[in-house]
Structure 1
Amino acid sequence: MSFIYFLGRFHVLVLHVPIGIIVAIVVLEALARREKYRNLEAASPFLWGAAALTAIVTVVLGYFHFAEGSFGSASGVQHRTFGTALGVLITAVALLRLSRFARNYAPVYFPASVLMVLLVSITGHYGGNLTHGSSYLVEYAPQPVRSLAGLGPRRPPVTDLALADPFLDIVGPILRQRCTSCHGTDTTEADLNMTTYEGVMRGGETGGTIAAGRPEFSELMNRITLPPDDEAFMPAEGNTPPTPEQVRIIEWWIQTGAQSGVVLGESDIEVSAEIEALLRAELGL
C-alpha cells in the first residue's frame, strides 16, 4: 500500500492540469459561438480529450490518496463524490465530442463546459476544506455570514494581556495556524483534531498529545522540537512549523498546567518577564 500512498500524494499536483484545461475549454467554446472565432472550434475535440484524460488520472490518484484513511469527514466524501462526477461527465462529453456524431450536438458543448467549471468549483471548495478547514473562507467574515456557516461569534481581539485565555487566545490560534491543515475537523491525520481544547487534550491514535505540567513528556513538544529533517518532525509535508518563540509559548503553557477557560489576570499561572514579552508580541500588544 505504501506505493499506492506514494502515487496518491501526486493528486494535489496533477489536479491543476484538468482545471486549467477546463478553463481553456469554456473560453474556447464561448468564443467559437461567434462567427469571427469559428475556426477555434477545430481545437475543441483535442481540449475535451485532454481534459478527460487528465481528469481520469486525477480521480484515480485521488482515490489512492483517499485510501490513506485520513479524509473520511463530510468534506472528504463530498470532494471525492463531486470529483468523481466531474471525471465521469467530462469523459462522457469528450467521447461525444470525439465521435462521428459530434456536430449533431454542437449546442451542447458550451453549456457542458460551464457545468464543468461549476463542478470544478464545488469539488475545489470541498478540497479546500480538507487543506484549510471548513471555516477558512468565512473565518473573518461578518457574523451574519459566519452564522450561516454554523460558526459562532469570533473571540474579540485581546487588548489587555491580563484578560487573555492562555489556550483560546494564545496557544489555540498557534495550533490552528500551524497544525490543523493535517489535524483538523476535515482532515484528522492520526485521529488527532487540534481545532479545539478538548481535541488537543484527548490526543490521537498514539495516545495523549499533552502531559499537563510536563512538557518533556508531551508528544506535541517532542514532535515540534525534533530536527526538521527527522521523519517524526511536525508539522509534516513541508508545512510551516511554529517559530522558536511560539514553541517556547507552547512549552510554557504545558508547563503551567495546559489550562483553558481562565484568564491570566485571575489565575495562578506564572508569567515571567520573558514569557510576558513573548505573549505580548504574539498577541500584537
Structure 2
Amino acid sequence: MEFLLPLFGRFHPLFVHLPIGILFFAVLLIFISGKEKNSFKGVIPIAFLVGTCFALLSGISGFLQYRYEGYSWETVQIHLILGWSTIAISAWLYFQFRKQPEIDNRLRVQSAGLLLLLMATGHFGGNITHGDDYLIEVLPPGLKASLGLEFEESKPLQLPEDNWEELAFYEGAIQPILNHNCTSCHNPRNRKGELDLTTAKGLLSGGENGEVLVHGNLTNSALFARLVLPKEDEDHMPPKEKRQPKKEEIELIKTWIEGGASMEKTLGEAKVPSSLVSAFFEREEIPFYPETTLGKVSEDSISKIRERGFFIENISLASPLFRVSCLNFPDFQDQDWSYLDRISSHITYLDLSETKASSKILESLQTLENLTILKLNSLPLSGENLELLINNQNLKIIYLNSSNISIENLRLLDGHPSLEKVYAFKTPASSQEKVKLSFELETGDFMLPKLATDTIVY
C-alpha cells in the first residue's frame, strides 16, 4: 500500500483548481452582495466552507507531492507557505462570517486580501511547473524592460562561420542548447527532478533518478533519450507545452554523446562536420527590398491608378512599397507616367514590358529611389541612355529581353552600386562575346545535356 501517499500527492494538480474557483466565487459574492433582495448571505459561508475543504485537500496532496516527487525545499517553500496561509485565512473568514454575517467594508478588505493571496500562491505554483519566466517568456523585450523585468534572455545557439572548429564542443554548443531549452526548469533555484542543467557539474551529477549522461551511450543517457520520445509521452522532455529543441540541436547533442561527451574537446577535435553546425552560423540578413519610413498611400489614390489599367499591390502587408505592372495596360506610353509620378517613391517593382514606352521613359525611371526590380522586355530601347539607371541606388535586377541592347550598351551599367543581375535574352548582347562586368549577365541559349532516354523510340 506504499503507493497510496505518492498517488494522492499526484492529485494535487486536480485538487488545486477547485479552491481557487470556489474561493474566488465567495469573494465575488461578498462584493456584489447588496441589502436584503440581492443578499447572498446564505451562500457565502457555504462557498467559504467548501473552498476551505478543497484547499485543505490541495495542501495535503501538495505536501505529499513535494515529499515523493523529488522537489527541493528551496523550490516549493514560498508556494507551500502561501498555500497553507490561504487555507488558514479562508477557514478564518468562514468562522468570522458565521459569527457575524453582516457584510461591511472590513470584510471586503479581508476578502480582497484572500484574493491577492490566492493569486500569489497560484503564481508561485505555476513557476514550479513551468519555470520562473513562464508568463513573461512571450513578452517582447521592450515591454519586459518597461515593466522592470530583469530576467536574463536565453538565446538560441549561434556559432561564428569562421573558426567555429576552435570552440569547445560542450561550452560553445551543448551548454547554450541546454540554456535555451532546459534550464527554465532545471536550474539551482528550481531543480525539477533534483536536476540542474546550468553547469557541467550539475549535468554530471544527475537527478533524482540517477545520472542523465552516460558517455558514449545514447540509450542510457536520459538527456538524449527523453528528447526523442513522442511528445505525448509523460517522460518526454521538455514538456510538450514548452519550447522544443530544433532537430539540428538534438542531432548535435546526439553527436556529442556518441563521441564520448567530452567536456574539453573542441568541435574540430570531435570531427563535427560543417553540415551539422551550418544551421547555427551567424548570418546578417539583408532584406531584398529597401527598408523605408515612407507613409502609406491612400486607398483613393491607389484606386485612381488602378482605374487607368495599372496593376498595383503592396509587396507585403507591412510595407508601403508597391509592385506595379502594365500587364493589363499594353497601350502605356511615356506620357502616362504622370499617373505613377505621384507614387514614384513607393515603387520598388516595375514592369513596363510589351508596352509602347520608349527609351525616353528612362529619364523618369531614374528618379525612383526605391526601385529594386525593373522589367523592360520587348521595348524599343536603343541603349544610349541606359546609364541613367546608375541613379537608381537600390536597383538589383533588370530584364531587357527582346530589345536592341548590346554589350556596349551594358557596359554603361558596369560598376552600378547595387545591380546584381541583368537578363538580356534575344538581344544583340546574347550573340556577342561575353565580357566581365560588375553584375551577372544572363543571355540565354542554354543547352540541356542529352539523356539516354532521349534516344529511345516507343
- Above 0.5 in TM-score? yes
* Equivalent runs, 1:179-190 vs 2, <5 Å: 181=185, 183-190=186-193
Amino acid at match of 1:166: A
The structure where strand makes up a greater share of residues is: 2
Q: Distance in 1 between matches of 2:12 and 2:225?
A: 30
1:65 corresponds in structure 2 to 65
Deviation at 1:215, TM superposition (A): 4.0
* Equivalent runs, 1:122-271 vs 2, <5 Å: 122-137=120-135, 141-142=144-145, 145-147=148-150, 154=153, 161-162=160-161, 165-176=172-183, 181=185, 183-212=186-215, 215=218, 218-225=221-228, 233-235=235-237, 245-256=248-259, 258=261, 268-271=269-272
2:365 corresponds in structure 1 to none
Segments of 5+ residues of structure 2 without an aligned counterpart are 286-458
Deviation at 1:129, TM superposition (A): 2.3
Q: Deviations over 1:154-188 (max 9, x none)?
A: 46666654478203433432333xxx54x443453
State the TM-score, normalizing by the size of structure 2.
Answer: 0.49
Q: 1:238 to 1:144 in 2, by over 3 A?
A: closer
1:29 corresponds in structure 2 to 30
Q: Distance in 2 between matches of 1:15 and 1:54?
A: 8
Q: Deviations over 1:29-87 (max 9, x none)?
A: 1122x559733444322222222122122112212212215222324011111101110
Ranked by relative contact order (alpha carbons within 8 Å, sequence separation 6 or more), the top structure is 1
CA contact (8 A) 1:52 1:87 kept: yes
CA contact (8 A) 2:70 2:208 kept: no
CA contact (8 A) 1:134 1:186 kept: no
Q: 1:12 to 1:155 in 2, by over 3 A?
A: closer
Secondary structure class of the residue paired with 1:71? coil
Q: Distance in 2 between matches of 1:8 and 1:18?
A: 16
Segments of 5+ residues of structure 1 without an aligned counterpart are none
Work out the percentage of aligned pairs sharing the same amino acid. Answer: 22
Secondary structure class of the residue paired with 1:194? coil
Deviation at 1:11, TM superposition (A): 0.8
Q: Distance in 2 between matches of 1:159 and 1:112?
A: 52
Q: Distance in 2 between matches of 1:284 and 1:235?
A: 32
Matched, 1:18 2:16: no
* Aligned counterpart in structure 2 of residue 103 of structure 1, from 68, 87, 101: 101
Deviation at 1:126, TM superposition (A): 2.0
CA contact (8 A) 1:76 1:130 kept: yes
2:411 corresponds in structure 1 to none
Matched positions, count = 270
Q: 1:6 to 1:228 in 2, by over 3 A?
A: same
Q: 1:56 to 1:219 in 2, by over 3 A?
A: closer
State the TM-score, normalizing by the size of structure 1.
Answer: 0.73
Amino acid at match of 1:196: T
Q: Cα RMSD between the aligned structures?
A: 4.0
The structure where helix makes up a greater share of residues is: 1
CA contact (8 A) 1:49 1:94 kept: yes
Secondary structure class of the residue paired with 2:237? coil
Q: Deviations over 1:75-118 (max 9, x none)?
A: 40111111011101101211232x3x323574443122111111
Deviation at 1:10, TM superposition (A): 1.3
